[in-house]
Structure 1
């Protein structure tokens, strides 16, 4: 039987626990194109960085053969317009400026930082809830509920509705996997579309309510609009809210979970974090390089012929940017397969770069720093119950589905 293509092996679930040897093989062909009509796969750090800033690379969903197939928020499947993640300038810039005016400077400069105390309280409550168990699942009991609580409170979702989001988020994220998208009528895709519709309908009701009765939350700000760009339309608010809920939740779940898995595999760093809470910022930056929650970006199209490493990528071709490979490129990082929070230079691709760099990066950083610091301090003698843990199907948003950890108890 002939060996499967390299790209097929990278997206194969059998290699989810450790794709990095395949990334090393991939970097030997910096621009990989295995079959006619297939994507051009780019894996070196400097090439990826350049393309993320290249105006000849489009994120517009209308340039794809299957618009919305790679949309992180899945907005198109609800009948909503694309979120700004899937638009090019100038429309992308207008919507992102409006969203930024509600998310941070200059109009809301302390919106995220002012949440620190509330976030720390949520973390403490979740750790307290681990109780006296001698084995805990850090995904189900901590990493999954924490970001969804945070993003719901940021948007202004009523607390009694927070548990409903997991039932919607799970199938939507499962439907993002490249393998599942190859069969549009597969059960995973049908479940994802139904969940998107339900989430969109729920948020439409919430937007209508905030239009009548604005509150001090992000959703009310998006409805009201600030600054010279005015307000978003109702449909644009819905697309942005869907993007924030899905992208802002799932990537942080994986960042926290990948982080604890890495620390448990490097107990000397875990011990340092217990003793030096201030180390958390450097640990998170190195994690974003070493085990990024977003492994690849499969939704780019070139709008003109592009020459790269002696290869002509024709106009209209799909381009996949493998961030996980670029983050371990030895041309950019010394000893790239070593986890080292003391690196002098950690200019990673974990949050992307360019105009589509991660909108929620400040919040994700704060959440993960608080989470890892609290877990390091309060879990008594934590150790992995299984290694590797079971992973999610998704090759784009990579992280363990469960992370079972044996402990001697939870410290006060």
Structure 2
């Protein structure tokens, strides 16, 4: 593919501000082919359940192409996993984002039942109390303080503990399990080993929790009205999750809910603190918070990209041939800044038309769209609104600049976000 930009997703300097690179891809090379550097080939193929090496992949940048790709599951499959690795599910089937048809539909229908509004909405007051408690501790620590470690990270962990019906005191273990799993995507052998150990611990933990729920049910005890209970008992076409399926689903839900939400909170705080006019508008017109959440997600997608794998047929995207069995990187963040889909896409504006801003792809699209999108939006809005109400004088620490986490291949987040109030 001659003349294509020298785009390198592994370049740490480029991860500091990836958007100029995305713009160049959309303008000059909407489907970019990368021969993975040798050192990265060794890293991403270190996982013991990799089927065979990944030595190259394609990146798709334009909104129209990304949207079409996400809705074409026959051509772009998910069974090899959302990272650059070609994974093989231990059970040969996979789960949700790691699964294809005919299994994916059944799995999704069961999980969707657990995330219905009648399950999530009653938890809003509890999520608000979680935010208040974390701010009590954060405020008591005194300024300056790191908003990521003190608020953005613990709020999603405690919330998912609530949603899954497990004690909030286990949040430290939850955080470690989530981090280890995410860093293993495209990571090295050490990251995979750490991820495996965390996965075993996670499965043991949830195995015990599920056994307790089943024992209580057999004894006639009314189970809690939470997601874990619904996952145990929900069914589709007269089938429930096996214990193995249930454990795989819980792992994915834990990682997705905790990791992406804490990134979104950090991104949202930084955007609002660097756009004081937007913050003032929200204070005057709180009805705009719903659209503000959508614009934060569009402007700074927490998950910048995920992978699909082409199936047995060659295909063409934006006039560029992609061979069968290729790994394809779907650039949500590039699509979210596409001027063909959004006016002034590089401006952060909460006064966009609702029908425009809600077209963003930060929760994906199609059959594999994020199941926890409603919960993610709820957590993000409550966390930001509560923070700015409690600390109206919140500002970035001028003596200690915020620092991006450049070690993450898939996500856009802050390692530290020092603030004063």
> TM-score scaled by structure 1?
0.88
Contact 1:81 1:236 in 2 (8 A): no
Q: Aligned equivalents of 1:398 and 1:68: distance in 2? A: 24
Candidates 199, 202, 213, aligned match of 1:199:
202
Task: Give the deviation of 1:65 after TM superposition.
Answer: 8.7
1:279 matched to 2:297: no
Structure 1 pair 65/52, CA: closer, same or farther in 2 (3 Å)? Answer: closer
In structure 2, the partner of 1:95 is 107
Count residues in correspondence: 386
In structure 2, the partner of 1:112 is 120
Task: Give the deviation of 1:188 after TM superposition.
Answer: 2.3
Moved more, 122-131 or 154-163: 154-163
Contact 1:6 1:22 in 2 (8 A): no
In structure 2, the partner of 1:366 is 378
In structure 1, the partner of 2:154 is 145
Structure 1 pair 273/229, CA: closer, same or farther in 2 (3 Å)? Answer: farther
1:254-273 equivalent positions in 2, closer than 5 A: 254-273=263-282
In structure 1, the partner of 2:78 is 59
Q: Secondary structure at the match of 1:33?
A: strand
Task: Give the deviation of 1:327 after TM superposition.
Answer: 0.6
Q: Secondary structure at the match of 2:416?
A: coil
In structure 1, the partner of 2:42 is none
Contact 1:294 1:397 in 2 (8 A): yes
Q: Aligned equivalents of 1:149 and 1:120: distance in 2? A: 11
Moved more, 367-376 or 303-312: 303-312
Q: Aligned equivalents of 1:400 and 1:53: distance in 2? A: 31
In structure 2, the partner of 1:125 is 133
Q: Aligned equivalents of 2:323 and 2:295: distance in 1? A: 35
1:381 matched to 2:393: yes
1:49 matched to 2:67: yes
Q: Secondary structure at the match of 1:118?
A: helix
Q: Secondary structure at the match of 1:342?
A: coil
Q: Aligned equivalents of 2:273 and 2:237: distance in 1? A: 48
Structure 1 pair 65/352, CA: closer, same or farther in 2 (3 Å)? Answer: closer
Task: Give the deviation of 1:222 after TM superposition.
Answer: 1.7
1:17 matched to 2:16: yes
Structure 1 pair 131/395, CA: closer, same or farther in 2 (3 Å)? Answer: same
Q: Secondary structure at the match of 2:194?
A: helix
Task: Give the deviation of 1:66 after TM superposition.
Answer: 4.1
Contact 1:11 1:395 in 2 (8 A): yes
1:8-407 equivalent positions in 2, closer than 5 A: 8=8, 10-27=9-26, 28-35=28-35, 37-54=55-72, 55-61=74-80, 66-68=85-87, 76=89, 82-104=94-116, 109-132=117-140, 133-176=142-185, 178=186, 180=187, 183=188, 185=189, 187-214=190-217, 215-216=223-224, 217-226=226-235, 228-344=237-353, 345-346=356-357, 347-385=359-397, 386-407=400-421
Q: Aligned equivalents of 1:291 and 1:229: distance in 2? A: 41
Task: Give the deviation of 1:228 after TM superposition.
Answer: 3.4
Q: What is the root-mean-square deviation in Å for CA atoms of aligned residues?
A: 2.3
| CA displacement 1:306-332 (0-9 Å, x = unmatched) | 122221111111111111111101122
Q: Aligned equivalents of 2:82 and 2:368: distance in 1? A: 17
Moved more, 364-373 or 31-40: 31-40
In structure 2, the partner of 1:73 is none
Q: Secondary structure at the match of 2:349?
A: coil
Q: Aligned equivalents of 1:103 and 1:308: distance in 2? A: 34
Contact 1:98 1:229 in 2 (8 A): no
Task: Give the deviation of 1:227 after TM superposition.
Answer: 5.0
Q: Aligned equivalents of 2:300 and 2:82: distance in 1? A: 30
Q: Aligned equivalents of 2:347 and 2:256: distance in 1? A: 28
Task: Give the deviation of 1:44 after TM superposition.
Answer: 0.3
Structure 1 pair 33/392, CA: closer, same or farther in 2 (3 Å)? Answer: closer
Task: Give the deviation of 1:388 after TM superposition.
Answer: 4.6
Q: Aligned equivalents of 1:65 and 1:369: distance in 2? A: 32
Contact 1:80 1:238 in 2 (8 A): no
Structure 1 pair 63/325, CA: closer, same or farther in 2 (3 Å)? Answer: closer
Task: Give the deviation of 1:127 after TM superposition.
Answer: 1.3
Q: Secondary structure at the match of 2:404?
A: coil
Task: Give the deviation of 1:5 after TM superposition.
Answer: 7.7
Contact 2:306 2:331 in 1 (8 A): yes
> TM-score scaled by structure 2?
0.86
Q: Secondary structure at the match of 1:334?
A: coil
